[in-house]
Structure 1
């Protein structure tokens, strides 16, 4: 059906045009993070074009004309806004758009500056982010050549700025063409990530790991290859006269339940000796001012480092989601010279202590986070960028994804190193929601030239910029040097191959790695990271001999999926902290409809294959391998979607419950991945449009603060109970051994005193000990956690793969009724209804639960929110369950 597909095109196009039409007026603002006294946004009517002498002009002459541009923005989105390229997300447009990454682009703006800015003694032109290799010209003079998309570029401009009609020109060079000559000249090449399948870059000379730009732009196994460029964050003019407030942060010296000993620390730059007054107002998490302090200071010419002690009695501390409140204090600073306020800044931060526990124990060396003295089991997922083009990410889209993480009872997200450092708004949201952040530095994989002094200096400057910007956020609990670079060198044969080819160079490369990730970044985090721990790589044991070790450090486990091992292998892997593992699935039907018409939705169809980026083993065939291992053969592409999501949800649930029930040996379970950059097949639990896959509904249950696990493996069902709560719980647990038709072979309930923050094994049930009447093809084990006589958590273990079970028609009956401000969907099953999925097609809706199983005779009620009429919802409801696909075994 083409409706959704055209809707996506219209949505993306209208979004681009709306952004192009942004106001051209100049704005004055005083952002919290600005290291300057006055800030004027540089705005107006930006224009762009393909550089006229670029080789691409021969085939793309229409792009050499000047067109309106969006800044912040990207070349691809500007081209799309003017219909100069096909929609990058629809159909199989990817191959035809690779020329953009090999071309050079020119951006231009004419702007004025206001009176106060023009008369200031100091004026700097500031680029908060430019991607990546850019020549910057101001009023005809080249003032900079940039080479890092993650840095903040501050360019002195006093001698060049005019009051009216300033011209800013930016030449954005191709990152591929900028780096390719030096890479091709290397006698021994450094291993990259994913070679381009499109011929826009040689497969044996990949440039992405030499560029300080988002690595995923070069393509990944869950996203397309769009090597874009652009002025991707704001452009400003900062100005001051003779005193500059360069930095302001709150240092937490001591914190406990009784008191918080803090220091407000300031870096002030002075052109000459001067006297200033600092005034600090502190507000509690409810917004009530609780303190006002002042400091009179005599400045010397140059940099002055000042401190103002602050004490808060009985502080409200910041805790992760599920452990306590997300208390955030506000610190408002005014800097005065005489009676004149010359600078104001505001910091909002949470008071919390964070430690990375690395104790030696009977298993090896632990890896787990301790917040305010309390060990935390980290529950969550890995976060990738929200879009291929960051400027297109709206605040509400970002908030919806983070809210989905919180709603699924997650308390941690790992910000993977192949993307970019997120916006200030993102970290504010994480602070508010109590989502701990494992923050990678932006190294996604491959081998980087750490042996190059200039490269390392560039990265150190980048790290300092980001640490200073982000250190006030209590959500950040770890800075990690990179993703998978150490294990790639040690475990994937990359280091061995280079050592065989060129041993001297290999040693040089590894020494550079240790210098960059073992020393340089560690030192920057120690200096500017506000006490947050540092970890050199993931997976790693922080540069110990073995990188991806189950007994020490964090673990990435891909024997399941990439190694084609059965999902049951998850139960034999018990790491100290699982920071990556995953199974793929297709998104919901309406998301697939957005990029491919129904007639093209075939497992091996070209449009479907174009949106399946796992090429190493043919992603759809790998999906079929796992589907066929446990379920029936899909009869249609819709079945394929349903079964892929079921396989993903049940597999990740098995692994996550195993991790949680292995506490305290295992202290973290972060599956790959939370979200998507575009509509397509991936490991995500929430698709590009924010729709929850089956996995996310399961995650809300298996990450609940109180839950149970029934895990069947090798003829034994192991029953466990898990609590993240910080108080002992008086509960009960109920065990039933049942038949699909509703017969109960065993039904027992026992009292349970569950210690705080713990996991406990309840029982082990061998298949051989089941009642003689129980048929494995129809029997399953149900364990429930009971509180005040009500079931609060449930886990079901099946004794055979689904394809070998005899699942009856469950006799499902669904009724939808209207209530005050929503609908109610009532569902009843006469017999076991396994893996029920409710869907309303192309209509927008939200269900309070989905991807669930009903026991024989069970009835449930779900909340249904939709703007559609009752008649439309009743007519469009489609129900899937596993018995529909069953055939006689």
Structure 2
């Protein structure tokens, strides 16, 4: 078999080689087959030969949906994956030193057979299993078969009714089954329920020495760090010496015999002046590698234990606050609710996962939330968040339902589930908050249940106890949202804020609601770019009420509206247009306004929450990436490409930036924010333009900010005389229609007179709807930098609104930005792996023409002529 060559190479290692903490584990990925059969029709592998079902190859790890996709038989909504039994099988020839089989995740009710013998049963897709092969007489040649029982059969069993029902799911009995709600939530999750071995299956070989249990706990106290380590070693020979390398420092460890062939290794390592781990917005995400060294006489073995970081997480909850501090510094947490990269397979391809998380980091996001409706992520996800300096808010996988935590078997299962997760991620500094569930307390309260039923003993006692035992360095929170008199109270504790959004509140509601921390907010139907639309729509179809289009539009189950209606409401407010009419009369303008609307609304709301003096300390967008192609909640489309809203948020979430807020009769406030670890010195400029072209007033001032601080500057402080900057007094026609704030960084010595624009923000005091002009004077050309990368050079004579860069095969560093009159800027373009570079264009929203950017023989060339579209 193909995995045999990997085993032979692994077995040839010398005792002095480096091995991972999961040493001697061989993934069983090849030669799997799968078939679907009627529920309950085949109880043993031997009877499958009688089935008339089609057998086809199956990727493992994966799901039945990903197997069907690989076979060209998948279509959204075509299959009910909970209706049939699914059998996976693989023929193995086990080597003589095979010791254990590891099943990292089986979704959901699964039976495992070796030939005809049942060797394992699993009823929780979030629990990993380790099977002793000798104890189950598994050896030599045989067939490993996995049966995944139809979930509908399990749901049909009679069980006690819940105390309340939720609209999130149609089948209330899901509360008894430990499986993801993905694919089972009508309205916003495509019907792709996870069924199959969605996490790796691995063969473990016998080893002279291996770690069978480990506890690693890092702690930061002031400037110093400590690492507490407790390992259980199974070894043929007793070690003669043990030590651990933490970065470049080595510490001697103690060991003691536990029993025949087992040893406990202990150590408390004290380190002075450690490098602290910070979220990337506030400093370096410093990590220390951990390597265990064991001597057996003249032989030595080194085992990699991964990495860890030293940081301190605390939350200020005084007077209803929720203010997360990292290493003693308050951090405004901003980011998104993470979604699986591929809902069909639930797999993370390494390069794509890194690309996605780098996109999040580069957008200024310093926190991602894993929501209780989905799945715990892979080890690689948390390791990359450690590396990139991204905090993680981790929900346990519970949402909205009345879970039967008093049932002994259910309670034991979910306790083991959480324990395994905490141990698996015990050394990851990225984990900041472990939350009991998503919306359980809110659901109970909204359905009129008494307060004593909102929170059960598992979320109130068991889970915080587990966190204290295994991860005392993280903050535990019982439910998202919770904290106020009502769980969904916005101005106390943690909120889910959709006032601006689903509930169609005006933009200033974000300030009036006095949100403290919103772990879920600003859900909109975000329009993707033309490239994705063209791949979806055929025969001249246009985004609209067509059923095929609406399948990709999220909605709350049971409502008479969807989130496209929400977006169009704000389009009408911002641009003073009729979206329904515009959709048919001017498709291209409708799409342009649809893209910028949600970006403008999100960015202005984030600006309110980040402003100096705001009560808000965190905002996580609902959500990161679409689960299927369309105009979903994601700010990244289903193909992995950023939408317009991503770029608006990137500017609003930047660690060093300037943001404008409208203070009514008090004019405009300019908020200069410096989250980073270095002091900032530069200048702030404020410009006012009439008819999007003529500058009618301006002012400039020097600014200095210490690390991790912000300042608020009143617009009048920059101006020589009174101007109705916010157009609040309205004594006559507005004197300007565009306001632009620009933050400059002073040049380094030796480059006198040169300054660099760090950030800009724009304000439209009347309406975002500007007159469409025949030509704004927008020009563009490309060049190559010293590293061989593409740089797009842009300039404009008049204001260019929401400048869109669309060049297939190239990803712009910034996009959908405004350009002030008589301004220029450079935008770096990176090559999208695996996609050919094609000719594209640059378009301003308020211009009739676009600028063509040509591609000749795969090379981008400049185009300076405005071409009417």
User: Per-residue displacement from partner, 1:360-415 (whole Å, max 9, x unpaired)?
Assistant: 2xxx2321222222222212222111121344431111111100011112211112
1:407 matched residue in structure 2: 362
Counterpart mapping for 1:5-404 below 5 A: 27=7, 38-42=24-28, 44-51=30-37, 64-83=53-72, 85-86=73-74, 88=75, 93-94=76-77, 96-98=78-80, 100-117=81-98, 123-182=99-158, 186-187=160-161, 190-195=164-169, 203=170, 205-219=171-185, 221-238=187-204, 240=206, 245-257=211-223, 259-268=224-233, 275-277=238-240, 279-284=242-247, 289-291=248-250, 293-300=252-259, 305-335=264-294, 344-358=303-317, 360=318, 364-404=319-359
Determine if contact 1:24/1:44 at 8 Å carries over to the other structure.
no
Assess if the C-alpha contact under 8 Å between 2:804 and 2:817 holds in 1: yes
Correspondence for 1:643: 593
Partners of 1:734 and 1:783 within 8 A in 2: yes
Distance in 1, Cα, partners of 2:544 & 2:19: 49
Please give the per-residue CA displacement for 1:303-353, whole angstroms capped at 9, x wherever unaligned: 865412323333222111032222211111245666677893422111222
Q: How far 1:884 moved relative to its partner?
A: 5.0
CA contact (8 A) 1:265 1:306 kept: yes
> 2:66 touches 2:345 (CA, 8 Å); kept in 1?
no
1:484-563 map, 5 Å:
484-490=439-445, 492-493=446-447, 495-496=448-449, 510=453, 513-541=455-483, 545-563=485-503
The structure where helix makes up a greater share of residues is 1
Give the structure 1 partner of residue 853 of structure 2.
none
Point out the more displaced range, 844-853 or 300-309: 300-309
Kept after mapping to 2: 8 A contact 1:32/1:347: no
Q: Work out the CA distance in 2 between the residues paired with 1:772 and 1:421.
A: 54
Return the alpha-carbon distance in structure 2 between the equivalents of residues 157 and 192 of structure 1: 43
Measured against aligned partners, the alpha-carbon deviations of 1:587-611 in whole angstroms (never above 9, x if no partner) come to: 1121122333252333011221121
Q: Does structure 2 retain, via aligned residues, the 8 Å contact 1:36–1:240?
A: no
Go from structure 1 to structure 2 and tell me whether the alpha carbon gap of 1:598 and 1:426 turns closer, same or farther (over 3 Å shift). Answer: farther
* Contact 1:568/1:713 (8 A) holds in 2: no
1:453 deviates by 2.8
Q: Distance in 2 between matches of 1:32 and 1:661?
A: 50
**Correspondence for 1:606:** 547
> Once the 2 structures are TM-superposed, how far is the Cα of residue 141 of structure 1 from its aligned partner?
1.4
User: What does residue 437 of structure 2 align with?
Assistant: 482
**TM-fit CA distance, 1:877:** 1.4
Structure 1 stretch displaced more, 326-335 or 169-178:
326-335
User: Structure 1 stretch 827-836 or stretch 143-152: which is displaced more?
Assistant: 827-836
- For residues 860-875 of structure 1, what are the structure 2 equivalents within 5 Å? 860-865=825-830
SS at match of 1:692: coil
Work out whether residues 312 and 327 of structure 2, in 8 Å CA contact, stay in contact via their aligned partners in 1. yes
Q: Which residue of 2 aligns with 1:503?
A: none
Choose the corresponding residue for 1:801, options 759, 764, 767: 767
Distance in 1, Cα, partners of 2:664 & 2:551: 39
Q: State the alpha-carbon separation in 1 of the partners of residues 824 and 122 from structure 2.
A: 62
Any idea what SS the aligned residue of 1:677 has? coil
Q: How many residues align?
A: 807
Task: Give the secondary-structure state (helix, strand or coil) at the position aligned to 2:254.
Answer: strand
Structure 1 vs Structure 2 CA RMSD = 3.4
> What whole-Å deviation, never above 9, does each CA across 1:116-160 have from its counterpart, x for those lacking one?
23xxxxx33321111010111123211222111111112333143
- Aligned-residue offset at 1:433: 0.6
C-alpha spacing 1:641/1:193, structure 2 compared with 1 (3 Å): farther
Which fold has the larger relative contact order, with Cα–Cα distance below 8 Å and residues 6 or more apart in sequence?
Answer: 1
Task: Look up the SS of the partner of 2:540 in the other structure.
Answer: helix
C-alpha contact 1:710 1:781 (8 A) present in aligned 2 = no
Once the two structures are TM-superposed, the CA of residue 800 in structure 1 deviates from its matched residue by 1.6
> Which residue of the partner structure matches residue 425 of structure 2?
470
Gaps in structure 1 of 5+ consecutive residues: 1-20, 118-122, 196-202, 500-505
Q: Deviations 1:463-499 (Å, cap 9, x if unpaired)? A: 0111110111111111111112111222x22x43xx7
CA distance in structure 2 between the partners assigned to 1:690 and 1:860 by the alignment: 26
Tell me the secondary structure at the aligned position of residue 459 of structure 1: helix
- Note if 1:597 corresponds to 2:597: no
Cα 1:53/1:427, change in 2 over 3 Å: closer
Q: Deviations over 1:173-206 (max 9, x none)?
A: 1223212323xx54556423434xxxxxxx4x33
- Displacement, 1:110? 1.6
Match of 2:570 among 609, 626, 634: 626
Aligned to 1:877: 841
TM-score, structure 2 normalization:
0.85
Contact 1:40–1:237 (8 Å) recurs in 2: yes
> Unpaired runs of 5+ in structure 2?
12-16, 43-49, 717-723, 747-754, 850-869
Q: Report deviation, 1:683.
A: 2.2
Match among 600, 610, 622 for residue 672 of structure 1:
622
Report how far residue 40 of structure 1 moved.
4.0
Q: Deviations over 1:555-583 (max 9, x none)?
A: 21112222122334223233221222113
